[in-house]
Chains A and B, each alone.
Chain A
Amino acid sequence: MTSRPAPFFIAALLILWCAMAAFATSNGAWLSNVSQRERERVNPYRDQSDAVAAGRRIFLDHCAHCHGQDAEGTKKRPSLKSSRVQHEATDGDLHWLLVNGNRSQGMPSWVKLGDPQIWQVICYVKSLH
């Protein structure tokens, strides 16, 4: 019996092509993708000083290598002290972004952190204004 690897390689290439095509159609305007319901979500840790301190720890562990130790941004990644993050985006908007990511722009999903830690890091980011 002769082996026929070609169809399997074609299948693998097809998978790659589909994935690339899906991402070619996405864009970076994440804020406009957030639903009103998500936008209005209230941060249960808001105004808790412990949450800001905990959020800072999470930020330094997971976010600082892209956004900078002081959240000023780096060459390729945006500052989190911008007007867009500090004033335009609500806590709910940022929660949506951290859950969904913006993969086409290099921002991964942080859903693995779980809701409490996501809200805590939002507390910290919003404390930077």
Chain B
Amino acid sequence: MGGAVLASWVRAALARIGGAALLLTGMLLPSCLQCHAQEYPYFVTYSQEMEEPGNLDIEWFNAVGNPPGGNRFMGSDVEFEYGLKGWWTTEFYLDGQATQNDSTIFTGFRWENRFRPLSREHWINPVLYAEFEDTSADKTLREVVGHDGRYDFLVPNRLAHMDKERELELKLILGSNLHGWNISENFIGEKNFAGDPWEFGYAFGASRPLQLAASARECVFCAEKFQAGVEMYGGLGDASGFGLHLTSQYLGPTVNWAAPNGMTVTFSPQFGLNGYSLPVLYRFSVSYEFQQFFSHFHRSGQ
């Protein structure tokens, strides 16, 4: 009985939140003459990789959780990532969430920019990140900062929706590629314009393709199409109380599959490491990369 209710709820949530993403992808897909994505399997951690200039990556991202004493939820966002320059990537997000026995709502938008100050590869590569977000009742957990915790998910949507969060988020992203491994570390500072103190957080990810060399023949489920790794992230308190006290922390394995026709599917179960965290989060995403996106329009106009 409970399983049927959950299945029904998940179907409804997917239909509502994913509708816009699927519609948009469906509209754009016919123009994707050749699309391909090879991404690291991270959900929270940013690597040093920038989007290739002219490419548009569209990703539908989801986080499903069940806070003790609260209702199951699914936070989703649709992400549009565009490579403006080799050293400058911009991204725009539309966020929403659905909560069982509550409601499905649009929770806001975010706009981020990443800059890579060094032109060459080094053993560690810095990227500077700045994001403005205007959200409320967000449940995507795209980052965990300050004292974010499981109790935030107990607030009904109608109340949480009134708490507008207009924030500036800055990150220092460090990334390395060593012997096929990608190792990325993020240091996060977030400031709410309402006057709250700076909040801090971190994210760490390491991943590797299951096979480094490509095979001579096309394949679908061969090892080179999979990347696997681990991701860990959490809050580090705020300016008035830096540290791990009353912060949530998550750790989990993660894997992605580069499917034929340019789709990448990523999945990760992530586990709360302390009582302040959600016990478990299931994350999954689907992305398409449209190579040289605007050139398709130029060709069709000729």
A66-B292 contact in complex given A18-B117, A53-B216, A117-B212, C-beta closer than 8 Å: yes
User: Which of B52, B177, B191, B216 is close to A111, meaning CB atoms less than 8 Å apart?
Assistant: B177
**Interface pair A22/B118, CB less than 8 Å apart:** yes
How many residues does chain B have at the interface if contact means C-beta atoms less than 8 Å apart? 43
State whether the Cβ of A72 lies closer than 8 Å to any Cβ in chain B.
Answer: no
A23 to B212, CA, bound (A): 31
Interface size in chain A (residues, C-beta < 8 A): 47
A64 to B36, CA, bound (A): 11
Contacts of A2 in B (CB 8 A): 195
Are B212 and A65 touching (Cβ within 8 A)?
no
Q: Does A78 contact B (CB under 8 A)?
A: no
**Is B168 in the interface zone, CB < 8 Å from A?**
yes
- Which of B4-12, B17-25, B61-69, B80-88 touches A? B80-88
Give the complex CA separation of A54 and B213 in angstroms. 8
Known: A53-B216, A57-B214, A106-B86. A5 touches B119 (CB 8 A): no
- Binary contact track B49-88/A, C-beta < 8 Å → 1, others 0: 1101110000000000000000000000000000101111
Q: Is the interface of A mostly helix, strand, loop or mixed?
A: helix
A58 at the interface (CB under 8 A from B): yes
Task: Say yes or no: is A103 at the interface (Cβ < 8 Å to chain B).
Answer: yes
Report Cα–Cα, A48/B291, bound state, in Å: 30
B182 CB within 8 Å of chain A: yes
Measured between beta carbons, the chain B residues less than 8 angstroms from A62 are 36, 38
Mark each residue of chain A from 9 to 51: 1 if its CB lies under 8 Å from any CB of chain B, else 0. 1011001101100110010000000000000000000000011
In the bound complex, what is the Cα–Cα distance between A57 and B213 (angstroms)? 12
Tally of contacts, chain A with chain B, CB under 8 A:
112
**Interchain CB contact under 8 A, A15 and B36:** no
B263 contacts chain A at the CB level, 8 A cutoff: no
Chain B residue nearest in CB terms to A16: B115
Residue in chain B with minimal CB distance to A9 = B168
Interface string of B151-194 (1 = CB under 8 A from A): 00000000000000000101000000100101000000001011
Answer whether A58 and B212 are a contact pair too, CB < 8 Å, given A15-B115, A106-B53: no
Residues of B within 8 A of A (CB): 34, 36, 38, 40, 49-50, 52-54, 83, 85-88, 113, 115-121, 128, 130, 168, 170, 177, 180, 182, 191, 193-195, 209, 212-218, 291-292
A-B contact pairs, 27 of them (CB 8 A): A12-B113, A12-B170, A15-B130, A18-B115, A19-B87, A19-B128, A22-B87, A22-B117, A23-B87, A26-B119, A53-B216, A54-B216, A55-B214, A58-B214, A60-B34, A61-B36, A101-B119, A108-B50, A108-B52, A108-B53, A109-B49, A114-B177, A114-B180, A114-B212, A115-B212, A116-B212, A117-B214
